[in-house]
Every structure is written in structure tokens, then in C-alpha cells.
Structure 1
Amino acid sequence: MVLVTLGVALVVVLWRAAWRPARNVVTIVHEAGHGVVALLAGRRLSSIRLHSDTSGVTVSRGRTEGPGMVCTALAGYLAPSVLGLVFAGLLLGERVGAVLVTCAVLLLGVLIMIRNVYGVLSIVLTGAVLFAVSWLATAEIKAAFAYLITWFLLVGGVRPVFELQRKRRRGQARDSDADQLARLTGAPGLFWVGVFAVINTGALLIAAAWLLLP
């Protein structure tokens, strides 16, 4: 089951036709990461918007510079991989229920802050799938679903980093998280893209070691 769900996650992430709709899930976690860290940094979360092109925007109020703003900007691209690593740890302890409950809490928290119709629709559809599996499926299917979510977040957390750098090369992402971090810290945007890539790839490798090695 672990290998099969990994294979399915790889197909979804690498096959463009499947990746486009599935990427909305990564965007939900990305924006949730911004929101959670903003709150932890003492900022006031104003709104979250999800767009049909799979982009998103999280607006928080507070100081426009400083460690809190840096951590908030840093959190988005790292959130899917970090959450996937947490889920891998839970699955290592056979805590399937904890994975599903965490997903439900995350979706509810984002739904409260959503301020556009497409965002609400994305959250409701994702929540409907989660609800159906949690309440109607057998224990084996729940476990497979939890592994699939975990692998998808881990593998799906890596691809957007490379997509980001392609857009940056074309001059299409001047307000990306990496470029915001460059303005906040003085370190070049490419450095921050590298940070995203190293951390997310590391999370994938660690989780793979946990779940695949005897």
C-alpha cells in the first residue's frame, strides 16, 4: 500500500492533466502555512483567496518588515512538505485518524478566512472528499488515503519550487515569496528558491526513509 500510494502520488504530480486540479490542494496548504505562521508571529490575519489558476493570496496586517514578516513569507512553500513530514511521522506510529483530523481542522481554518467564491468552492469540494473517506470508507481505504495525502504533499511540495523559478526566469513572478524575502532580507531571490528546494527535498527523503525502509 505504501508503494502503491507513492506511485499514485508521483503520477498525479508529474502528469500535467492531473497536476493542474490537484495543485489546488497544495495551494490550500501553502496559504494555510502563511496564515498559521502569521498568527504565531503576532500578525493579524485578514483574508485568504484561492484562484482558479491555482495561485493564492494571504493577507495579514502588522509590521511590514522584521522576523515575523520573514517567517510569514518563508512559510508558504515549505508548508506542504513540512505537513507531509509530520503526517509521515504520524503514519509511522499508525495514527491514521490523526492525519485525517488534522486535514479537517486545516480545511475548516482556511474556510473561515476565505474571501472569494472560488476559494470557498475549492475548500468545500476538498472537504467533501475528506468527509466521504473519513465517514464511509473502510479502515484499509482510510489508511491508503492517509498515505496518499502524505506522499502527495511531500512530492507535490517539491514541484512548485521549480515552477516558481521558471516563472522568475521569465519575469512573471516579481512578487513571489522568494522575491518578497529578497526585499526583506537582502539575500537574492534565487537563494530563497534554493532554501525551499533543499528543505522540501530533504523532507521527502526523510519521510521516504521512515515509510519505505524496514
Structure 2
Amino acid sequence: MSGADIAGFVGERFFATGDLTRPTLAACVAVAALAVGLDPVWRRLRYLVTTVHELGHVVVGWFVGRSIQSVHLNHDTSGLTVTRGRPTGPGIFFLYVAGYPAPAVSGFVILYAVIYRHAGWAMAVLLALLLVCLALVRNAFGAVVVVAQLLLFGGIWVWNQATVLAGTLTLAGSVLALGGVRAGIDLVSSQRRRRSATSDAAILGRQTHLGATVWAYGFLALSLVLVALSAALLYVQSASLS
């Protein structure tokens, strides 16, 4: 295969628009809502949500000048990102704020990209972030989780079937958006029972003296706002789909 052939192959995938129809959109959102609502399925999907949660810490950590040491993804669907830098100040504050909103933010961005026919770029960015996560993961189970996601999304991207690409991203974006809300609800429940002293909300509660429960509700509220924006985007644009 020549260099021109390789460039064309990659270019086709970066600039793939996807082929999203109204029935596909409705089916993906319905399946995502059902999956996130069913506990046995949610426990599996939570690994994707946790991966994006930790990537939120990683990306914001880099922006605020912290050194990212490692990422762990655990069997119980929890995660941990270890960074190095000042223990106080705005950098560490934004680092802990970044995790819980990350899935809902990512869900909105992915859905926006699919609706506006940038599915190829959206998948490429998702794969790049998963590769970053794989480079930072320091436990075997976490590596397996990230590799499984890379194989799934990478295979869809390379295959480059328009309807499958758009449907996969719509499903993933909907799962992340709704999963961010479900994770926020779980966090509120946990903090109200005072079960976790090491969650992002608990740490921010101690740093700001607002309390963990206030932060937990704040994360949930932000995720709900982002889901509402995603729903509005899908509703407005669905009229233009065949």
C-alpha cells in the first residue's frame, strides 16, 4: 500500500460524516436509557463512564499544570488518578471538579459531533484519549478495560460503515450523558450516608468547607443541565433527519 493509499484510508475515517437517521437516533437513546437504568447492565457500562471520569481529571490536570502519575480502573468500577503538584490552590480545586461532569460533557460533545456530521473526528478524538489513558494505566484490570474499549471503538472506526459509526457514537454519547446523571445520583446517595471520605465531593467539601453533600448535588445538577442540553440538541436536529 502506497503512502497516498494510506493517507486516503486514514482521511476517509477522519472525515467520515456518519449516517444518522431518526429511527437510529431514537433507538440509540432508548437503548442507552434502558441500559443505564438496569443495574446489571449499568455495572458493565460504568467502566466506560469511569474511564471518561478519570480522563476528565487527566485533561484538566494537564491544563492546570499538574504532572499525571498514573490512572487506576478497578473491579468495583471505581477509579483513581494520581497527580503531582501543589496540594492547595486553584489547580487542585479544578482537578477534583473535573471528574464527575466529564461523562456528561463528553456525551454532549459526542452527540453534537454526530448531529453535525463530524462522526469520524469524534471517534478519532475518543480513540486518542483512550490511548492516553492506556499509557497512564498502572493496573492490569484497568489496562484490560481500556484495551477492550479501544478494540471496540477502533474496530468501528476502521470499518467505517456510516450507519454503524453514527449509531455507535450516538449510543456511546447517550450512555455517557445519562451515565453521568446516574453516577451523580449514586454519589449523592453515598454522601448522604457518609460512606465515602475520599470521593471528589468529599475532598472538595473539606477544601471549601461547603460539605460533601453540597458538592454531590452540584455535580448531579450540572450533569442534569448537560443532559437537558443534549436532549434539546437532539430534539431540534431530529426534524432534519430522514
Q: Shorter-normalised TM-score: what interval?
A: over 0.9
Residue of structure 1 equivalent to 2:42:
19
Post-superposition Cα deviations, 1:74-111, rounded to whole Å, max 9, x if no partner, equal: 00001001111111221231111112111101100100
Instruction: State the alpha-carbon separation in 1 of the partners of residues 120 and 144 from structure 2.
Output: 25
Instruction: State the alpha-carbon separation in 2 of the partners of residues 66 and 93 from structure 1.
Output: 38
- Give the RMSD, CA atoms, in angstroms: 1.1
**Rg (Cα) greater in structure:** 2
Kept in 1: contact 2:54–2:80 (CA 8 A): yes
Question: For residue 85 of structure 1, what is the amino acid of its counterpart?
Answer: F
Kept in 2: contact 1:2–1:212 (CA 8 A): no
Residue of structure 2 equivalent to 1:112:
135
When structure 1 is superposed on structure 2, of 163-172 and 19-28 the one drifting more is: 163-172
Question: For residue 55 of structure 1, what is the amino acid of its counterpart?
Answer: S
Question: For residue 124 of structure 2, what is the amino acid of its counterpart?
Answer: V
Q: How many residues align?
A: 214
Gaps of 5+ in 1: none
Q: Secondary structure at the match of 1:42?
A: coil
Percent identity reads 33
After TM superposition, give the deviation of residue 137 of structure 1 in Å.
5.2
Kept in 1: contact 2:111–2:169 (CA 8 A): no
Tell me, yes or no, if structure 1 residue 179 matches structure 2 residue 206. no
Question: For residue 70 of structure 2, what is the amino acid of its counterpart?
Answer: S
Residue of structure 1 equivalent to 2:111:
88
Instruction: State the alpha-carbon separation in 2 of the partners of residues 138 and 92 from structure 1.
Output: 16
Q: Secondary structure at the match of 1:52?
A: coil
Instruction: State the alpha-carbon separation in 1 of the partners of residues 169 and 99 from structure 2.
Output: 22
Runs of 4+ in 1 over 4 A off after TM superposition: none
When structure 1 is superposed on structure 2, of 53-62 and 178-187 the one drifting more is: 178-187
- 1:57-96 paired onto structure 2 within 5 Å: 57-96=80-119
Gaps of 5+ in 2: 1-23
Residue of structure 2 equivalent to 1:151:
174
Q: Give the structure-1-normalised TM-score.
A: 0.97
Q: Give the structure-2-normalised TM-score.
A: 0.86
Tell me, yes or no, if structure 1 residue 141 matches structure 2 residue 164. yes
Instruction: State the alpha-carbon separation in 2 of the partners of residues 133 and 92 from structure 1.
Output: 18
